[in-house]
Amino acid sequence: MKKPAINRRSYCPVTFALDIIGDRWALLIIRDILFLGKSNFGDFAKSPEGIATNILTDRLKRLEGQNIIAKNPDENNLSKYVYSLTDKGLDLLPIMVEMILFSEKHDLETAASKSTLKKIRTNKNKFIKELRQKHKTAFKNNLQGG
Amino acid sequence: MKKPAINRRSYCPVTFALDIIGDRWALLIIRDILFLGKSNFGDFAKSPEGIATNILTDRLKRLEGQNIIAKNPDENNLSKYVYSLTDKGLDLLPIMVEMILFSEKHDLETAASKSTLKKIRTNKNKFIKELRQKHKTAFKNNLQGG
């Protein structure tokens, strides 16, 4: 494997994805947008895992820099922002679906939604496609709103 | 969602999986075992990402505690150990496959193996099943050897 550039650990595909999701917090913001329909700082801060606001600020900035999320003014309050997933961010959805299936199998106390699990088990690709579409529409609306 | 126990951040399935893989290093050890056939401390330490030995020691212990990897004496050198993936560890394979597909799409410089990508694209489930089987056999042999 070639020697990595100064800003990279390696050219391994696992490492590339890990440098986005390999963190205790970043993926929880993406979960909040993707599955819980959250879009603003205050709502992200209220998640049960209790993210500190300085960490939240840092991770939002980092995810925006990685082109995983996009930040736009909130049309209802122009001093605030709404966050949505970009196409690249939505491409993390299959990874998260596999994480949910792993946890459903190995965590006896999982709070995974039964209806979500059923949809995933019935037709994983359809579940991913429909959730993607829902967010793409929301993203488009945000851009038009902003 | 119910209030989490003291040792848990929440009962969310994404969080459960993230508390195993949401780290800059743990999943790279699993990658080394899974895709590169590594099994011992010295080989893990040589990966291009340059993991520090104290971090490697900590992550091996943590992954063993989470029942993701198993540690057995090396039959060729009983003062050393070999590490293999447990069944639970092997259940992380679908997550890693999706990470590889994500990186192949978004990382122009990816070093993802063309033959691996081809196998994944041709039949993802078959690729996962065959790699699982290969490791289950190795694990069994390790146990018999130890």
With CB atoms and an 8 Å threshold, state whether A102 touches B94. Answer: yes
Given a cut of 80, whether residue B69 has pLDDT beyond it is yes
Percent of chain A with pLDDT over 90: 84
User: Secondary structure of B115-136 in the HEC alphabet?
Assistant: HHHHHHHHCHHHHHHHHHHHHH
Residue type, A119: K
Average pLDDT of chain B? 92
Given a cut of 60, whether residue B32 has pLDDT beyond it is yes
User: Are the beta carbons of B46 and B96 closer than 8 angstroms?
Assistant: no
The answer to whether residue B133 neighbours chain A at the CB level (below 8 Å) is no
Span B92-115, average pLDDT: 96
Give the whole-angstrom CA distance, residue A74 versus residue A146.
Answer: 7
As given in the structure block, the two tokens for residue A126 are: 């359809």
How far, CA to CA in Å, does A21 sit from each of A83, A116, B128?
17, 22, 22
Rounded to a whole number of angstroms, the distance from the CA of A57 to the nearest CA of chain B is 18
Given a cut of 60, whether residue B103 has pLDDT beyond it is yes
Given a cut of 70, whether residue B145 has pLDDT beyond it is no
pTM above 0.90, yes or no: yes
Predicted local distance difference test score (pLDDT) of residue A144: 61
Chosen from A38, A46, A100, A102 to mutate, greatest number of chain B CBs within 10 A = A102
Confidence of residue B73 (pLDDT cuts 50, 70, 90): very high
* pLDDT tens for each residue of A116-142: 999 999 999 999 999 999 998 876 666
Predicted local distance difference test score (pLDDT) of residue B4: 79
Give the whole-angstrom CA distance, residue B30 versus residue B146.
Answer: 21
Residue of chain B with shortest Cα separation from A15: B28
Confidence of residue A6 (pLDDT cuts 50, 70, 90): confident
Rounded to a whole number of angstroms, the distance from the CA of A130 to the nearest CA of chain B is 18
Given a cut of 70, whether residue A1 has pLDDT beyond it is no
Closest of A33, A51, A43, A145 to residue A90, by C-alpha:
A33
**DSSP-H helix ranges across B46-123:** 53-65, 87-90, 93-106, 114-122
Residues of B in contact with A19 (CB under 8 A): 24
Give the whole-angstrom CA distance, residue B106 versus residue B114.
Answer: 15
Residues of A in contact with B50 (CB under 8 A): 9
Confidence of residue B137 (pLDDT cuts 50, 70, 90): confident
Span B116-132, average pLDDT: 96
With CB atoms and an 8 Å threshold, state whether B102 touches A95. Answer: yes
Question: Which residues in chain A (53-82) have CB-CB distances under 8 A to chain B?
Answer: none
Residue of chain A with shortest Cα separation from B101: A13
Residue whose token pair is 């070999």: B82
How far, CA to CA in Å, does B140 sit from each of A19, B23, B74, B107, B135?
33, 28, 13, 36, 8
* pLDDT tens for each residue of A62-78: 999 999 999 999 988 88
Closest of A57, A58, A135, A51 to residue A92, by C-alpha:
A135
Predicted local distance difference test score (pLDDT) of residue A142: 63
With CB atoms and an 8 Å threshold, state whether B24 touches A23. Answer: yes
Instruction: Report the residue from B1, B92, B103 with minimal CB separation from A16.
Output: B103
Span A83-91, average pLDDT: 97
Please, which residues have CB within 8 angstroms of residue A129's CB and are 6 or more apart in sequence?
Answer: none
Predicted local distance difference test score (pLDDT) of residue B22: 94
